[in-house]
Amino acid sequence: MLVGISTFAFFLCVAKTVVGSPNFIIFFADDVGYGDFQSFGHPTQEKGPIDVMGDEGMRFTSWYSGDSICTPSRASLLTGRLPIRIGVVGPNRVFWQWDQGGLPKSEITIAEALQQQGYATGMVGKWHLGINEKVANDGGHLPMHHGFEYVGTNYPYGQNWKCDPKKFSTAEMSEKCFKYKNSTFVQQPTDMINSTFEMVEDAKDFIMRNKNQPFFLYMPFLQAHCTLFCSPGFCGSSRRGIYGDNINEMSWAVGEVLDTVKRHSIQENTLAIFISDNGPQLEMCVDGGSSGFLKGGKGSTWEGGIRMPAFAWWPGTIPAGEVNHEVVSTVDIYATLLELAGGNADEDDVTRDSKSISGVLRNESPSPHEFLFHYCSDRLMAVRYGEYKISYVTQMRTTDFTDFCYEGVPDDDRITNLRCYDDTVVSHDPPLIFNTDEDPAEEHPLNPARHGLMLSHVNEAVRRHKATIVPTRSVLGLKNAALQPCCNYPACVCNYEHPYESQQKSEL
């Protein structure tokens, strides 16, 4: 991939291999909530390898996502920027399978930045940052165009509630349910029964191939987005039901990958982080996740939509069994990994929101953030400042999902907080103020008259922040029906056992 030298000004431009540079693994769950793990307080969820990451490493209580919904959250992780800065905003809020837009190629992802530091880069799992660009099946927005040289089993659109063969026909499933290897179709519609196992095998293969050089593995899971599924070894494994089965299966996958790291004796040179992209889809009732005692879920900037379960693991470097209360964000992954890899981030770049938390991971320093800014699309909703959360705009959320909890077919309107500007969104003047240390459930707003100086300080920070936002054309909602993925036109149905030859498995 050829990129202008000036584009790379924020990090060392000459590719190099830094002996001793740590390996990085980012596990990224889908719609998993703050209360979905035993170590975060769920009373019936079984303990698994994800919880063990906290026993052997660090658990974070105030880790915030880059957005409250899927596509923009993923964009913020890979670019270190808030979605508003890169055009990942708009009424739809996510890429649809037929959109011609994608993660802007002008953005230097963390994978591309680490390649310049001599890292091998790999990805398996859910993408959801664009598919085709000019013609059907050109794969112009897929991961290999954003710095991932190894791409195993991947789901360009993720998985959707239509990917349920018990409720939908093959034709209905084919529209949104498909699996790739690199840029080549494997299945349409998707059979997800073995998907976690296949992702794990690809992740192991990537680690084995690159165990003697620094590597970056990005592993975004399908769990626990609807439709819920489970492999035979995990169906019925949880007291919590099918959702708990999903958590157990995902946790097993994390354990398998970390065990591979241990088997190759590279654990003391490997940083692994587990987080979720956004809060749970509460409208799915028992088939959705849990925000615990936090208010709200997916789509909202209430704490339940943006405050994530998070674990960091790096034996010998991260203190074992630590619970960290510092306020950090998914956008910080960019600067953190780049710094640890020996890169040189431009600290004067106000358009990159990422800050290194390497000192936080070692329990040696406080959060580098004075403020975190939380958006719904291009609308600033709230600001986190120390222990305070200042909400200028909130989304109304019903707490009664009786009408949703039935054995039937859902639809896209089941997420009640997709909108950022309609009559379900409420502005507050003066804003709502919560002490999220004392009141993480956001039940008891503070009296703004007693916090005038603090509000003035935050309002000035908002003014300065907004001055750094450059209007950018939205890359979402650019529908082109001709770009609908179709592996065997016009049938759009396929199941290829050996889709390509370039990445055949090697013996472990």
Burial-class residue 242 by CB neighbours within 10 Å (0-12, 13-18, 19+): middle
Residues 151, 158: Cα–Cα separation, whole Å: 15
For residue 99, give the DSSP letter.
B
For residue 479, the one-letter residue type is K
Q: Is the residue at 506 inside a domain? A: no
Residue of 126, 131, 134 lying closest to 145 (CA atoms) = 131
Element at 475 (helix H, strand E): none
pLDDT value for 416: 65
Same domain for 139 and 275, yes or no, is yes
What are the average pLDDT values for consecutive 10-residue runs of the chain, which has 508 residues?
37 41 97 97 97 97 97 98 96 93 96 97 97 92 97 94 88 92 91 93 97 97 91 94 96 98 97 97 87 94 97 96 97 97 77 94 96 97 98 79 56 66 92 97 97 97 97 93 92 75 38
Q: At a CB cut-off of 8 Å and minimum separation 6, what does 153 contact?
A: 124, 125, 179, 180, 181, 186, 195, 198, 199, 202
Element at 425 (helix H, strand E): strand 425-435
Same domain for 337 and 439, yes or no, is no
Same domain for 409 and 320, yes or no, is no
Domain span at residue 449 reads: 383-467
pLDDT value for 79: 97
- If you count DSSP H runs as helices and E runs as strands, how many of each does the chain have, helices first? 10, 16
Q: Is the residue at 11 inside a domain? A: no
Task: Assess contact for 250 and 221: CB atoms under 8 A.
Answer: yes
pLDDT value for 496: 87
pLDDT value for 287: 87
Same domain for 210 and 294, yes or no, is yes
pLDDT value for 166: 85
Q: Is the residue at 3 inside a domain? A: no
Residue of 502, 508, 506, 507 lying closest to 150 (CA atoms) = 502
DSSP string for 182-233 = TTEEEEES---TTHHHHHHHHHHHHHHHHTTS-EEEEEE--TTSSSP---TT
60 alpha-carbon distance from chain centroid: 16
Residues 308, 65: Cα–Cα separation, whole Å: 7
By annotation, the residues acting in catalysis are 70, 128
Same domain for 396 and 338, yes or no, is no
Q: Is the residue at 376 inside a domain? A: no
Same domain for 456 and 489, yes or no, is no
Residues 121, 125: Cα–Cα separation, whole Å: 14
Evaluate the CA torsion angle 232, 172, 181, 280 in order and state its sign: negative
pLDDT value for 351: 83
Q: Is the residue at 220 inside a domain? A: yes
Same domain for 440 and 479, yes or no, is no
Judge if the upstream peptide bond of residue 22 is cis by omega within 30 degrees of 0: no
* Residues forming beta bridges with residue 375, ordered by sequence position: 380
Q: Is the residue at 112 inside a domain? A: yes
Element at 149 (helix H, strand E): none
Same domain for 353 and 402, yes or no, is no
Q: What is the CATH number of the domain that holds 354?
A: 3.40.720.10
Final residue of a domain: which of 447, 467, 487?
467
Residue of 161, 489, 434 lying closest to 295 (CA atoms) = 434
Q: At a CB cut-off of 8 Å and minimum separation 6, what does 278 contact?
A: 31, 65, 67, 68, 69, 70, 73, 298, 299, 305, 306, 308
Same domain for 109 and 164, yes or no, is yes
Same domain for 135 and 214, yes or no, is yes
Q: Is the residue at 31 inside a domain? A: yes
Q: What is the CATH number of the domain that holds 406?
A: 3.30.1120.10
β-pair type (215-220, 270-276): unpaired
Same domain for 60 and 161, yes or no, is yes
Domain count, the chain: 2
Q: Is the residue at 2 inside a domain? A: no
Is the pTM higher than 0.75? The answer reads: yes
Same domain for 300 and 443, yes or no, is no
